[in-house]
Structure 1
Amino acid sequence: MSVMIFSLVYDAATLILSGMPIVIVLIVSAFFPALALGVMGGVMGSSSSRVLRFIAAIYVYIFRSVPFLMFIFLIYYGLPYYDIDIGPVSTAIIALALSHGAYMTEIVRGGLLGFDKGQNEAAIALGFTLTQRLRDIVLPPTLMAIIPSLLGQAILMVKDTSLVSVVGISELTRLGREVVIRTNEPFVVFTVVAAAYFVLCFGLELMARRLETRVRGIMSRQ
């Protein structure tokens, strides 16, 4: 009996882990656009302009209030309605970037609001333009300080990839369901799926903790 279970776990793990590369591709491809949206939204949300703050707030409220699964459906079925067919992988990347960009907006905005205003005022006195202040003075230390929070958001992004199977992407969860149909052993198979997600998320968690320790060391020396 134990040999049969071991064989089942091994076969299930072999097939399920073949979906790991697509999960990594989705995370890497969506993280940086989401970060760009977060930086843009964070800058707008912490600006002195009411219009920019309003636009950033609307973006955040919409994408934090509607379930992520709904955005996948809206993009996957909505774009073809206008004769735009981008495929399931691009759909997943866009949905992940837009949704998690809203959360990153709040992370960046919080970091910017905690930035030392004296440095910004000194840069203004020295004649720095807004772009120069953001690029050279404000954003680098802010992004360094919020790296652990951004990696924490990446972990949540990993978990959300389990939902993209609804548009036909063969990632971990979809492959797990296929193995369940073949073996009729849902508990064993989904235990393997959960273990795969745990390993991936735990690796990111270790990276976040290491970076947090390094960032604290750097900032304590400044």
Structure 2
Amino acid sequence: MRPLLRAAALPAAAAALVTGCGSGDDWSRPHPAPSAVGTLEAGFADPSAPPAPEATITPRPGSWNGVHPSKGYRVVLLTAGDDRPTRSLVTAVKDWAAKEHVSLRTVVADGPSDLLPAVTRSLAARPDLVVSAGDGLVDPLATATANHLSQQFLVVGAELAEPTQNVTSVDWSGASFRGEGLGMSSTYDVASFTAERCTAAIGAGTAAVLNHLTGIVIWLDEI
């Protein structure tokens, strides 16, 4: 059984690693439950047969573009590493948040020993969604997510080997890192983390979460 990860209150030193931007919301007060503004287009998923947990769907390119988060959506961007794919994903998430007027905070893991504590800091912020960017976070998230089922997570550019219902991933052939000793995919390609694909990943992933299509993998070989 995986150990329980406790989300303790943020100490001052940990809080220093959390930065915010966006709506000016200081997150100190309750806010309405988030909802989807707009609808998914045909070809994203079959509404008569929703995907089962851990299923992989391949949505039609752009079928998520009409979906936006409701006002006040609170997102933590959890990130680790300074490699090119991670930087591309982080840029895409921040650009999406600015465009959608999302209240965004960023938690950066300061090296391998800070990966699990960084997840804890993300949970302590009590966001509507934690978006993870960086392969190093996959194994810590596998430990944490199953013990925090009320918290929604979105993993972009990688996936958990055994995701729970609260973990949604967006992946493609050039990414698909799964952690847990499984190693890097033989098709891994740094060049596949284009600005266009990373933008599609955050758009498609959040559209799925907002429509309660969670615990699945969204495959984006075509965008």
Instruction: Provide the TM-score with structure 1 as the length reference.
Output: 0.25
| Relative contact order higher in (CA < 8 Å, ≥ 6 apart) | 1
- The structure whose residues are more often helix, as a share, is 1
Larger Rg: 1
- The structure whose residues are more often strand, as a share, is 2
Instruction: Provide the TM-score with structure 2 as the length reference.
Output: 0.25
